[in-house]
């Protein structure tokens, strides 16, 4: 069981030092990414989802750093402390693409406009399998395009990104990410820039990777509907913390954090009919440079007390796999019933 | 591509006609009479109006302006650039004497500024906010602020007169005209001109590189495990240098006009002095020929920029 954990993140703190000010973007984030499972990270924009994803690959911009915490990667029998590797050093670079691959939100800008799609895939292949010859590499890039459902892959391989549609580009990005058969795929809001039907196709593709290749998947989204559809496990993030974490069925049906509940109320539920009341989450996200002292959600919370204002609630385990950062989680769940 | 180039070249013809005609009218409207520059003062004073008129007649100055423009144009079509009004030397001979010197100097300077400017700009962008970047930005600002002639004179003082490393002016010693023998004459003017043109290229390529390095595809490249130099070179720079190439293309016309000041300071026997003299004395055939040449370079450079952009950026289609 424990061997199924591929990436283990514990108490991760990441701070940004922009404009002489410190932005404490992540304040103690812990989660696991497991083989053949999808972890969905959900939360409003600006809560630190992308930063979490980029930190795993040490792709953070300058002026930011891991202050505290650990990121462990289980490579076969070997345990690698990613947080201790040099940022763009040889070991870190070897993990990128070969072990952990990432795709980004906007496939329009994530591909380089001046190279053919095939060239960009082969760049990755050559980096990690340098002894291939040109023909083998070409076959491999064509194969990975074909596997992602791109028709006429040999011809597509020679085309430039601007000749692809948005959905096709995201497929090409996934083809690139999967070309070296990584153990982990991180997808940072992969369908936000795409329309609904195309999104559904991309999600199907990601599910296929999970079942067929047992890829461990970390899927970032701001949409609870996607969580319900895709997740095995969920991490709900708010202002640099995971406020609730657990198996998808637990979190969706037994949500114990007021923020999780608020998020759930803000999306339509299938089968509940047309006249369900949708409430957007009340209030505004605080200024990241001027964060509340205690629980970050406190100013927007119905259950807030003086304790919440002054102290950040610790991770409280409901059971082995389910934790919540709320002093009043008992009350929250009682209130809901 | 071929069709495009042919079409563009044909399209240049009406433009050349209009512009050269405007230059011709411009010369016509300059104050003063050409005769005053052609015949020395005291001689002119002794001549009768009839005699003066004879000279005019001989030079064709009494013909209507349109007639003179078209006879110049007819000459150009036949490959005849005309004769200097001052001493009746063929303009083609004058240009052949002078043009290689100017081109030599400005091509050297253009190469120096292009390579130095883009190299320093890229370094500056990669090391943004670090010491190297700050020093280079400062140097760039000083470079833009210092006038060419001052920079040239200081260099002559230091390297020519004080240190005696390089000759202070001229292009070669008589009899020693092989390229390597005159190289030492070229170094200082080319460096002064080149360095004074560098700051602009440097600032532009720094901005372009920074813009490119902030794009998502650079992050994608990094996420593939590419090393930093590959990320910077093959992704950052590869996209950044298209606009830099465009800038350099638009600078090509400087090949003729840009070295004027430097030619004067270093007594470089180029077109610069010939051209300024010609303008001062309203020597129409010379002005027209050099003007035509400049306009041609401007038009051809913009065509070159178009073609280059299409070659460098697959998104651009020539049409
Ligand atoms: N490159 C950056 N420079 C400065 N601050 C950043 C940068 N990227 C993210 N941040 C800050 O980190 C916080 C979280 O951002 P992000 O992880 O992008 O949010 P999201 O959950 O929408 O992906 C925000 O407060 C944002 O201002
Ligand atoms: Mg994001």
Q: What is the pLDDT of residue B144?
A: 82
Residue B113: the pLDDT is 92
Give domain status of residue B105, yes or no. yes
Tokens 């007594």, residue? B267
* B226–A113 C-beta distance less than 8 A: no
3-state secondary structure chain B: CHHHHHHHHHHHHHHHHHHHHHHHHHHHHCCCCHHHHHCCHHHHHHCCHHHHHHHHHHHCCCCCHHHHHHHHHHHHHCCCCCECCCCCCEHHHHHHHHHHHHHHHHHHHHHHHHHHHHHHHHHHHHCCCCHHHHHHHHHHHHHHHCCHHHHHHHHHHHHHHHCCCCCCCCCCECCECCHHHHHHHHHHHHHHHHHHHHHHHHHHHHHHHHHHHCCHHHHHHHHCCCCHHHHHHHHHHHHHHHHHHHHHHHHCCHHHHCCHHHHHHCCCCCHHHHHHHHHHCCCHHHHHHHHHHHHHHHHHHHHHHHHHHHHHCCCCCCC
CB A33 within 8 A of CB A62: no
Q: Looking at the predicted structure, is the pLDDT value of residue B184 above 60?
A: yes
Contact A97 B215 (CB under 8 A): no
Q: Which tokens sit at B167?
A: 């000759």
Domain limits for position B201: 99-267+298-312
Is B312 part of the contact surface with chain A (CB cutoff 8 Å)? yes
Q: Look up the CATH number of the domain holding residue B192.
A: 1.10.3720.10
Task: For residues B43-64, give the mean pLDDT.
Answer: 82
Protein residue with its CA nearest to atom 18 in ligand 1 = A50
What per-residue confidence (pLDDT) applies to A188? 95
A-chain residue closest to B314, CA distance: A114
User: According to the model, what pLDDT value does residue A14 have?
Assistant: 96
Q: Which residues of A touch B219 (CB under 8 A)?
A: 59, 104, 110
**Is the confidence at residue B177, as pLDDT, over 70?**
yes
Inspect the interface and report whether the beta carbons of A112 and B226 lie closer than 8 Å.
no
**φ and ψ of A7, to 5 deg:** -125, 130
**What confidence score (pLDDT) does residue A269 get?**
65
Question: What ipTM is given for this predicted complex?
Answer: 0.90
Total domains present in chain B: 1
**A191 CA to centre of ligand 1 in angstroms:** 19
Q: Are strands A21-34 and A5-18 parallel, antiparallel or unpaired?
A: antiparallel
By C-alpha distance, the chain B residue nearest A89 is B227
pLDDT at A109: 93
- Residue-wise pLDDT for A191-205, tens only, equals 988 888 889 999 999
CB contact under 8 A, B223 and A123: no
Q: B130 in contact with A at a CB cutoff of 8 Å?
A: no
Average pLDDT score, chain B: 88
pLDDT of residue A281: 80
pLDDT of residue A217: 96
As a residue count, chain B comes to 319
DSSP run (H or E) holding A334: helix A329-336
> Among A20, A21, A23, which residue has the most ligand 1 atoms within 8 Å of its CB, making it the best to mutate?
A23
Q: What is the pLDDT of residues A131-160, one digit of tens each?
A: 999 999 999 999 999 999 999 999 999 999
Q: What is the pLDDT of residue B146?
A: 86
CA A2 / ligand 1 centre spacing (Å)? 32
Local confidence band at B174 (pLDDT 50, 70, 90 cut-offs): confident
Listed as ranges, residues in chain A with pLDDT below 50 are: 1
Q: Is domain A2-99+182-336 given the CATH code 2.40.160.20 in the classification?
A: no
Q: Is residue B166 situated within a structural domain?
A: yes
Q: According to the per-residue pLDDT averaged within each range, which of B36-50, B218-232, B265-279 is highest?
A: B218-232
Residue A274: predicted pLDDT: 66
The reply to whether residue A112 touches residue B224, judged by beta carbons under 8 angstroms, is: no
Domain limits, chain A = 2-99+182-336, 113-181
Residues from chain B contacting residue A115 (CB–CB below 8 Å): 238
């Amino acid at each position: 069981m424990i061997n199924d954990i591929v990436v283990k993140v514990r108490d991760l703190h990441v701070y940004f030092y922009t404009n002489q000010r410190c932005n404490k973007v992540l304040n103690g984030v812990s989660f696991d990414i497991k083989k053949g499972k999808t972890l969905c990270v959900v939360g409003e924009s600006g809560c630190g989802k992308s930063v979490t994803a980029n930190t795993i690959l040490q792709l953070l911009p300058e002026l930011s750093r891991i202050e505290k915490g650990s990121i462990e990667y289980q490579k076969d029998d070997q345990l690698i402390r990613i947080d201790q590797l040099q940022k763009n050093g040889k070991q870190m670079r070897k993990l990128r693409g070969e072990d952990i691959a990432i795709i980004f939100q906007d496939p329009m800008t994530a591909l380089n406009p001046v190279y053919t799609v095939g060239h960009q895939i082969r760049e990755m292949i050559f980096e990690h399998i340098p002894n291939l010859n040109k023909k083998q590499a070409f076959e491999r890039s064509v194969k990975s395009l074909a596997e992602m459902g791109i028709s006429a892959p040999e011809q597509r391989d020679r085309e430039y990104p601007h000749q692809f549609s948005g959905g096709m580009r995201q497929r090409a990005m996934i083809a690139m990410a999967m070309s070296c058969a990584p153990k982990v795929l991180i997808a940072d809001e992969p369908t936000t820039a795409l329309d609904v039907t195309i999104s559904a196709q991309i999600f199907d593709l990601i599910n296929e990777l999970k079942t067929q290749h047992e890829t461990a998947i970390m899927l970032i989204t701001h949409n609870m509907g996607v969580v319900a559809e895709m997740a095995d496990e969920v991490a709900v993030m708010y202002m640099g913390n995971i406020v609730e974490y657990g198996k998808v069925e637990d979190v969706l049906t037994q949500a114990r954090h007021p923020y999780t509940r608020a998020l759930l109320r803000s999306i339509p539920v299938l089968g509940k009919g047309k006249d369900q009341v949708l409430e957007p989450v009340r209030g505004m996200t605080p200024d990241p440079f001027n964060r509340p002292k205690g629980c970050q959600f406190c100013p927007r919370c119905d259950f807030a007390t003086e304790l919440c204002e002054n102290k950040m609630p610790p991770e409280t385990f409901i059971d082995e796999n389910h934790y919540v950062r709320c002093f009043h989680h008992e009350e929250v769940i009682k209130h809901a019933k | 591509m071929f069709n495009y180039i042919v079409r563009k070249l044909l399209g240049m013809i009406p433009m050349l006609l209009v512009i050269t005609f405007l230059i011709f009218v411009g010369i016509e409207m300059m104050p003063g009479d050409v005769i005053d520059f052609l015949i020395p003062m005291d001689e002119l004073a002794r001549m009768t109006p009839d005699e003066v008129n004879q000279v005019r007649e001989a030079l064709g100055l009494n013909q209507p302006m349109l007639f003179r423009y078209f006879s110049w144009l007819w000459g150009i079509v036949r490959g005849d650039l005309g004769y200097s009004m001052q001493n009746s030397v063929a303009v083609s001979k004058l240009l052949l004497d002078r043009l290689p010197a100017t081109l030599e100097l400005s091509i050297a300077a253009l190469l120096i500024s292009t390579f130095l400017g883009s190299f320093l700009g890229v370094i500056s962008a990669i090391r943004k906010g670090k010491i190297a970047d700050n020093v280079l930005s400062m140097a760039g600002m000083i470079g833009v602020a210092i006038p060419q002639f001052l920079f040239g004179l200081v260099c002559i003082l230091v390297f020519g007169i004080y240190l005696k490393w390089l000759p202070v002016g001229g292009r070669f010693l008589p009899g020693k005209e092989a390229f390597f023998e005159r190289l030492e004459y070229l170094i200082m003017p080319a460096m002064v001109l080149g360095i004074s043109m560098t700051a602009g290229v440097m600032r532009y390529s720094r901005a372009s590189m920074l813009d490119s390095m902030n794009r998502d595809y650079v992050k994608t490249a990094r996420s593939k495990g590419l090393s930093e130099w590959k990320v910077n070179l093959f992704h950052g720079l590869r996209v950044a240098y298209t606009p830099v190439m465009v800038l350099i293309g638009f600078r090509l016309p400087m090949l003729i006009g840009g070295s004027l000041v430097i030619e004067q300071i270093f007594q470089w026997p180029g077109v610069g002095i010939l051209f300024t003299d010609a303008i001062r004395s309203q020597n129409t055939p010379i002005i027209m020929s050099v003007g035509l040449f400049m306009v041609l370079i401007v038009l051809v450079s913009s065509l070159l920029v178009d073609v280059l952009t299409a070659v460098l950026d697959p998104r651009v289609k020539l049409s």
